[in-house]
Amino acid sequence: MAHRGRRVAHRALSRAAQSTATPLSGGPALLQAALNGARRRDDHPAIPWSSADLARSAAEAVAAGAEAIHVHVRDARGAESLDAADVARTVSALRAAVPRTPIGVSTGAWIVPNTEKRHELVERWSEHPDYASVNFDEPGSELLAGLLLRRNVGIEAGVANTTAAARLAGSGLAPRCLRILLEPQTQDLEAALQIVRDVECVLDAAGITLPRLLHGIDRTAWPMIGEAAWRRNQTRIGFEDTVTLPDGAPASSNAALVAAARRIFDA
């Protein structure tokens, strides 16, 4: 009976999220491809680093059913980067490969730990992505989100915990964001789902009805895809989140991961 009550509540939440969706934010069942993240080639030999690799992987992922792309920009050595030249090269290559698909990039604090330096680099961008993810549990997140919004870059508000949710709610920026990224970091599934419930309580109390993209990492990646499909939330998949298919076999490509997620979503 408690499980049925949770299902009713989630359906009501999905209807609220649909009411604020825009073409860029996507519909309630958006499937995003997260192509590389912070992973290295020793995690999987097919992790795309170069702009050409990312462009090819994006095109394959879109053909397999992805409706948006998220990448971590890399420099010539394969290190994550927020440098204007690296961002321009990557975004331009992706737009040429998938011209009708929204392109997003990460602005994670670990890429450039110094907050002021990170903001300076973003301010120098000349080729802007359609959106960027901003983690609201990181220093300077409000200022960074405001900077991007002034440049007409959409914001995916990364909310990994209740602290981030409260910070987003208090910032006043939520109505201007594209979506919420519900992304608990724990590998324990039940703990991850509890974090999501706690975060949603904060968001609901603040009246934040943005579309919500739910995803997991590694052991929780595929269970969270199933949860998102059941809830009719947006979700994402790709080498950033897992390098294996639902049966545990190694994935050959981002496209293989997207195709598997698409089957779950469309079931």
- 201-212, pLDDT tens digit by residue? 999 999 999 999
SS (H, E, C) the chain: CHHHHHHHHHHHHHHHHHCCCCCCCCCCCCEEEECCCCCCCCCCCCCCCCHHHHHHHHHHHHHHCCCEEEECCECCCCCECCCHHHHHHHHHHHHHHCCCCCEEEECCCCCCCCHHHHHHHHHCCCCCCCEEEEECCCCCHHHHHHHHHHCCCEEEEEECCHHHHHHHHHHCCHHHCCEEEECCCCCCHHHHHHHHHHHHHHHHHCCCCCCEEECCCHHHHHHHHHHHHHHCCEEEECCCCCCECCCCCECCCHHHHHHHHHHHHHC
- 23-40, pLDDT tens digit by residue? 677 777 899 999 999 999
A 10 A CB-CB count for 10 gives 17
In a 13 Å sphere around the CA of 188, the CA atoms on its Cβ side amount to: 4
Phi then psi dihedrals of residue 225, to 5 deg: -60, -45
- 121-162, pLDDT tens digit by residue? 999 999 999 999 999 999 999 999 999 999 999 999 999 999
Q: Quick one: pLDDT at residue 15?
A: 33
Statement: residue 13 has pLDDT above 60: no
Q: Quick one: pLDDT at residue 1?
A: 36
What does the mean pLDDT of the chain come to? 91
Question: Which structure tokens are listed for 153?
Answer: 């870059």
| pTM for this entry | 0.90
Mean pLDDT of 41-62: 96
In the CATH scheme, what architecture does the domain 2-266 have? Alpha-Beta Barrel (3.20)
Q: How far is CA 154 from its chain centroid?
A: 12
The region of weakest confidence among 17-26, 72-81, 216-225 is: 17-26
Which of 139, 134, 231 lies closest to 174, judged by CA?
134
